[in-house]
Amino acid sequence: MNKPTGRKPAKACYEHIGGKLGQLLLEQFVEKGWIAKDHPADRHYYITDKGQEEFTKLGLDLLQIKSE
């Protein structure tokens, strides 16, 4: 069992997950091809076809994501 260390690996910041957990999730989603960018300099990612499949398998309702 993990003991509390006082550190906060995740934090909610506005409407996103921040902190180390957010960073690790982002890295894994990119590595697995679930999200991508059109160009490396782009700030925003998009959900790939594979990501749509996999996120849906996890029970996420992608229709709740707002288009910006």
Task: Name the residue with tokens 């909610």.
Answer: 12
Q: pLDDT of 8-65, one tens digit each? A: 666 676 777 888 888 999 999 999 999 999 999 999 999 999 999 999 999 999 998 8
User: How many Cα atoms occupy the beta-carbon half-sphere of 56 within 13 Å?
Assistant: 9
Question: In angstroms, rounded to a whole number, what is the distance separating the alpha carbons of residues 3 and 44?
Answer: 36
Q: Tell me: pLDDT of 6 over 80.
A: no
Question: In angstroms, rounded to a whole number, what is the distance separating the alpha carbons of residues 65 and 62?
Answer: 6
Retrieve residue 15's tokens: 């409407």
- Confidence at residue 15, expressed as pLDDT on a 0 to 100 scale: 74
Question: Is there a contact between 33 and 43 (Cβ–Cβ < 8 Å)?
Answer: no
Q: What letter does residue 47 receive in the DSSP assignment?
A: E
